[in-house]
Amino acid sequence: MTSARFDVAGLGNAIVDVIAKADDAYLIRHGIAKGAMTLIDPHRAKLLEDTLADTTIVPGGSAANTIAGLASLGGQGAFIGRVHDDWLGEGFAAGTRRIGVHYDTPAAKDGASTARSVILVTPDGERSMNTYLGASVELDEGDIDEELIAASKILFIEGYLWDSETLKGAVRKAIRAARAANRLVAFTCSDAFCVGRFRPDFIDLIENDFDIVFANQDELVSLYETSNFDDAFQNARATGKLFAVTRSEKGAVVFQGSAVHLIDAMPDVQVVDTTGAGDQFAAGFLYGVAHDLGMATSGRLGCLAAAEVISHIGPRPAVPLHGLAKSAGLL
């Protein structure tokens, strides 16, 4: 791939995660949809936070997590996303820069507070997210650094961004900047409910604007409204785009045109918290694509990064992925 200052520029919601353990009874009691990402207002965020005794507060956000994973693999990453000028926003910015990610979106001086997601992790490792988008959805066209995008091999966009009308102008500007510089545009479907909300947009964008698409199996089935995985897979293949689809313990299927690779999940992983699994799969895969490692190795890097992140609490790698990938013979 043509050389560039950055491997990937991520565009996404800048969110701080408030992580706590909870059981199914807690989810039922508080009306939380298990396994999904639900949007909430700041009042409900506070209400949930007040019920939780022991929380872990860390930088999160889907695309931001992916860029963090890319950096952990030794890749060069940049992130674009808006926080507020408050203590959570400062923590997000500091945490992002500390791991070597380029981040210079200015913090908002007025408007909503920094976005946060109350993430409940049940004993089965499943995570249920309750997200107050706050300042993150106030990202506007002025925040889109076209030079930065032109200097990145891949622009990576999260589907969650479609939850804000005001954000769409910024997303469009970013896509135009990538196209004009002949860069790849990658996209993650983010969440099956998210796909349900924006299906026609996503299908149109996949046909016309995106080169690489990430989805899990539920998202792919939702995207094409099929009754089984294989039919959704056939629909996706027909687009000719590069897809990387995760299937939980079934591993991943990576395909484009006549090429199809079936990548097994890493064996013997103890699932503690699935938060960030899809984000880190994307990190490994994008690292591989940006470094011309081929579809199969890129898929294996994705599975390796996902396996690491689900073995502990939190959405980002706990140990450097570069070393893990070297030990596994992938780098």
DSSP string, 119-180: EEE-TTS-EEEEEE-GGGGG--GGG--HHHHHTEEEEEEEGGGGG-TTTHHHHHHHHHHHHH
State the Cα–Cα distance between residues 64 and 59, nearest whole angstrom: 8
By rule CB under 8 A, what string of x and - marks binding of each residue 168-197 to its own copies? Answer: ------------------------------
Nearer to its own copies, 51 or 234 (CB): 234
By rule CB under 8 A, what string of x and - marks binding of each residue 23-42 to its own copies? Answer: --------------------
State the Cα–Cα distance between residues 29 and 324, nearest whole angstrom: 40
How far, CA to CA in Å, does 156 sit from each of 185, 239, 288? Answer: 6, 19, 14
Segment 95 to 114, residues that bind its own copies, using CB under 8 A:
none
Single out the residue of 147, 201, 264, 292 in contact with its own copies (rule: CB under 8 A): 264
Q: Is 166 in the site for its own copies (CB under 8 A)?
A: no
DSSP string, 262-286: EEPPPSS---S--TTHHHHHHHHHH
What is the closest distance, in whole angstroms, from the C-beta atom of residue 222 to its own copies in the complex? 16
Single out the residue of 27, 107, 181, 296 in contact with its own copies (rule: CB under 8 A): 296
Q: Is 327 in the site for its own copies (CB under 8 A)?
A: no
Structure tokens at 146: 């076209």
Rounded to a whole number of angstroms, the CA Rg of the chain reads: 18
**Candidate ranges 7-15, 183-191, 233-241, 310-318; the one touching its own copies (CB under 8 A):** 233-241
Q: Is 234 in the site for its own copies (CB under 8 A)?
A: yes
Single out the residue of 233, 243, 281, 287 in contact with its own copies (rule: CB under 8 A): 233
Single out the residue of 228, 238, 268, 270 in contact with its own copies (rule: CB under 8 A): 228
Single out the residue of 3, 182, 258, 270 in contact with its own copies (rule: CB under 8 A): 258
Q: Is 124 in the site for its own copies (CB under 8 A)?
A: no
What is the closest distance, in whole angstroms, from the C-beta atom of residue 231 to its own copies in the complex? 8
DSSP string, 6-73: EEEEEE---EEEEEEE--HHHHHHTT--TTSEEE--HHHHHHHHHH-SS-EEEE--HHHHHHHHHHHT
**Candidate ranges 138-146, 176-184, 202-210, 247-255; the one touching its own copies (CB under 8 A):** 247-255
How far, CA to CA in Å, does 299 sit from each of 78, 128, 279? Answer: 22, 26, 13
Rule CB under 8 A: which residues touch its own copies? Answer: 228-231, 233-234, 237, 250-251, 253, 255, 258, 260-264, 296, 299
